[in-house]
Chains A and B, each alone.
Chain A
Amino acid sequence: MPDTLVLVSQGLFHALSPINLLAMLLATVVGIVIGCLPGLSAAMGVALLLPVTFGMDPATGLIVLGAVYCGAIFGGSISAILIHTPGTPASAATAIDGYQLTLQGRAAKAISVACIASFCGGLLSCLSLYCFSPLLAQLAMKFKSPEYFWLSLFGLTIIAGVSSKSMLKGLMSGVLGLLLSTIGMDPMEGVPRFTFDFSILDSGINTTCALIGLFSMSQVLILAEKQIVKRSRPVDFKDKIGVNKSEVKRLTPHVLRSWIIGNIVGILPGAGASIACFMGYNEARRFSRHKEEFGKGSIEGVAGSEAANNAVTGGSLIPTLTLGIPGESVTAVLMGGLIIHGLQPGPELFTTYAGMTYTFFGGFVLTQFCMLAVGLAGCRAFAQIGRLSDAILIPSIFLLCVVGSYAIHNNFEEVVIMFCFGLLGWLAHKFGLNTAAIVLGLILGPIGEKGLRRSLILNDGDPSILFSTPLCWLLIGLCVFGLISPFLMRRMEKRMEKQMETPLAS
């Protein structure tokens, strides 16, 4: 153990060298910018910078990649908050409440909350990286096909949480998302489904593309529908940047909860930040004392989502480094980086190459501070975007949507798909359907389908395999809890309201 402590402190010390600090700062800024821009995901950011790191010292190179990763995950929240356009799928849940805050002229507040929550989530995930790596890696190995099926079902129970207006319409939206997720290559048989001979649909609907359409393009249509007038300048920022004492008290439990959620989701291969942000958001809502604020601009919602997605960063590094199993596409690219630098993921990283690994960890910790500094310094400037007139904002978002969806694969057909989803999002708005629930169905559908069908093939069609392990039962328990709790909570709320008579809202 003392040996490990020495390695940890040495690593931190190495990471503090001027060149590393400079690289870290630059990479964080690049990451935030990439994350901000819709269509440029964290994975793409890391992939773009990968060749740049070839010529660097391995430790510096890895720190750069880690910094881009963290920066991009946080950066996604900026555009989600300001223009309802999640820069990366990881910030989809942030857009729900973040954008409402912007409409109220509290953009700077929302971004600073997102920044602080990201920082906390990221920093806490470093803690698990240092302390619980081997333990958590074991958990990742326990997740087999049946467990993934139940995990995706649990994810779908979030629909109950995000559809505050009408449960029925929420469910309809979720099912629509699930149906759309069946488009593409059948995961078991390898034959195209519902693609109508469009080869672009072979690999399924691109989530980022659908997200840009559903969240931003639809917003453009909704805004454009109203007569474009110079928006009465929203209230000058009354809010102070940062959080005061009472807010710290309010947000802390959500950040801690989201850390655990993000971490666990992060270590599971194939799940990733886009699911974690919804889970973090939903749990924040479930346990909040100010439920009425959710959907109308709640800083707790922003914090719950952002802390969770940044907690994924450290979490997903765990199976990547210890087992060589990347949790999501970003870490898959990062693993490519490791291998190119001659580091083979596995136990050797903590023995033979411990020096470099701990320098990387040290850099990862320091990156969180860089992110906090850059985010807080910039949030007032970012927030100015929220004050632009619609006449400028609408065409700009439109342009970003087109460029963003084109940038994913340099493919114009995906722009068309984005437009289709924009239209769908606009219609959903008209009919009171829930776009977040559609996205959930779209993300979770393939995971659940693969989990279920693979389990059944493995067990010759006998569904008993779905109930075969304790972990399955734990997840089933969570599903039941997820389904029942909204109703229980509502009943409790009503009882509370009767008792208190005076509403809490200020």
Chain B
Amino acid sequence: MKKILLLLALFLLLPASSQAWSPSKDVTVIVAYKAGSGTDTGARLLAQYARKYVGQTLVINNLPGGDGKIGWTELSRSKPDGYTIGFINLPSFTTLSAQPNSTFSVQSIVPIANHLTETCVVVVKANSPWKSLNDLVNACRESDKYRCSTNGKQASNHTAAQLLANSAKFSYKAIPYGGTADQLLALRQGEVQFSCAKVADVAPLVSGETPELRILGVFDTKRLAQFPDVPTLGELGYYKEWYGSARAIVAPQGTPKEIIDFYEEAFKKTMNDPECVAAHEKAKMNLDFKNSKELGELIFSQLVFSRDIVSSLFKQK
């Protein structure tokens, strides 16, 4: 009986699946950062395993420049035929799209699925006198001489430091270093007293026998499974929302729904593939699948954040 039902189901499904869209040639994946960057490595890792479920090779096309502007402009102008998809970074994408004269907006892309999520944390050197976030806040409230390294003026990690400073009502000196690696190097060298960065960038420096850095707080609504002893900012009465970055897969505007559905399903399967999961764990990348709808909500909330909160954050300066 079961077999017959299965056969029946198969027959019913066959015409449906032959109608459903699937790519018949290589798919181009636009990455708006250069080959070898964090986004690129993540994209290549996923593309490697997605091949099995997409049925075609995913060819990464790096279009770096202008902090992502060039690649994302190209992505939003690509032909919506399902043969060009791309990666966006949140909140960078929404921040840029909220700028005047932006060449793309959140309407120029269609969400497919979220790939990675990274939460922001507050870090100090392991030998810092500040043992807790309150130590840091109290010291900074007394004096505004303390320095914080950032990955660029008004860049993602500067925004994080600003969120903390505004919610805890202290002022500090932000020193831009142009990139997360340099920003953390400055902290390790002792050029600055504290820093805010994504947990993946910090994790290797806080573990091991002689950790170099110490995490004081997490920009999230709940504690991180990886660091259960570290309190959230909200617990201590500071910034209460999640703040971090996400990397997601999107298609250019006008891409038909059946194509979006196809990729959503394909990437869902990819991200549940044990080999793919193991590879991400090995690379210490935080896989976080969100479907098209959930990703759309995330993009919207990030847009609101970029447009309303970030713009007022830096105002008093």
Contact = CB atoms under 8 A, between A and B. Distances in A.
A458 B176 CA distance: 10
Contact of A340 (B45, B62, B69): B45
Contacts of A235: none
A187 B150 CA distance: 12
Contacts of A346: 204, 208
B175 A454 contact: yes
Given A190-B152, A340-B41, A409-B62, A345 B204 contact: yes
B36 A51 contact: no
B147 A329 contact: no
B153 A325 contact: no
The secondary-structure label for the interface of chain A is helix
Interface in A425-484: 450, 454, 457-458
Q: Bin chain A's interface residue count.
A: 35 or more
Interface string A174-202: 00000000000001111000000001101
B69 A342 contact: no
B77 interface: no
B65 A457 contact: no
Nearest to A324: B204
B48 interface: yes
Given A51-B48, A457-B175, A458-B147, A46 B65 contact: no
Interface in B199-213: 204-205, 208-210
A141 to B, nearest CB: 6
A409 B189 contact: no
Interface stretch (B84-92, B160-168, B230-238, B276-284): B276-284
A120 to B, nearest CB: 28
Nearest to A189: B153
B123 to A, nearest CB: 14
B64 interface: yes
B181 A325 contact: yes
Interface string B122-151: 000000000000000000000000010000
A296 interface: no
Interface string B166-192: 000000010111100110011011011
A344 B67 CA distance: 27
A458 B175 contact: yes
Contact of B65 (A47, A200, A325, A336): A200
A145 interface: yes
A187 B155 CA distance: 12
Nearest to A54: B48
Contacts of A341: 282
B70 A199 contact: yes
Given A189-B153, A203-B66, A340-B282, A347 B204 contact: no
A54 B181 contact: no
Contact of A344 (B45, B66, B192, B284): B284
Contacts of B36: 43, 46-47, 50, 329, 332-333, 336
Contacts of B186: 144-145
Contacts, number: 118
A347 B188 contact: no
Nearest to B71: A409
Contact of A202 (B65, B152, B182): B65
Contact of A348 (B34, B47, B189, B208): B208
B222 interface: no
Contact of A47 (B35, B61, B66, B178): B35
A202 B69 CA distance: 10
A104 interface: no
Interface residues of B, number: 49
Contact of A50 (B38, B41, B65, B205): B41
A144 to B, nearest CB: 5
A199 B65 contact: yes
Contacts of B197: none
A115 B173 CA distance: 49
B64 to A, nearest CB: 6
B259 interface: no
A144 B147 CA distance: 15
B41 A202 contact: no
Contacts of A410: 61-63
Contact of A145 (B38, B40, B47, B191): B191
Interface in A323-352: 323-326, 329, 332-333, 336, 339-342, 344-348
A203 B279 contact: no
A302 to B, nearest CB: 29
Nearest to A345: B204
**From A43, A187, A200, A336, residue with most partner B Cβ within 10 Å:** A336
Contacts of A402: none
A133 to B, nearest CB: 17
Interface in A60-111: none
A188 B189 CA distance: 19
B278 to A, nearest CB: 9
Contacts of A411: 63, 65, 70
A144 B188 CA distance: 11
B286 interface: no
Interface in B36-71: 36-38, 40-41, 44-45, 47-48, 61-67, 69-70
A50 B69 CA distance: 25
19 contacts: A50-B35, A50-B41, A54-B48, A144-B189, A190-B155, A199-B69, A199-B73, A199-B103, A203-B67, A269-B181, A325-B181, A329-B34, A342-B283, A346-B208, A347-B210, A409-B64, A410-B62, A411-B65, A454-B176
User: 8 shortest A-B CB distances, which residue pairs?
Assistant: A333-B36, A47-B35, A190-B153, A342-B282, A47-B36, A202-B66, A336-B41, A344-B204
Interface of A: 43-44, 46-48, 50-51, 54, 141, 144-145, 187-190, 199-200, 202-203, 269-270, 323-326, 329, 332-333, 336, 339-342, 344-348, 409-411, 450, 454, 457-458
Given A189-B153, A324-B204, 16 more contacts: A50-B41, A141-B189, A144-B191, A187-B176, A188-B153, A190-B154, A199-B73, A199-B103, A202-B67, A270-B182, A333-B35, A344-B204, A409-B62, A410-B63, A457-B173, A458-B147
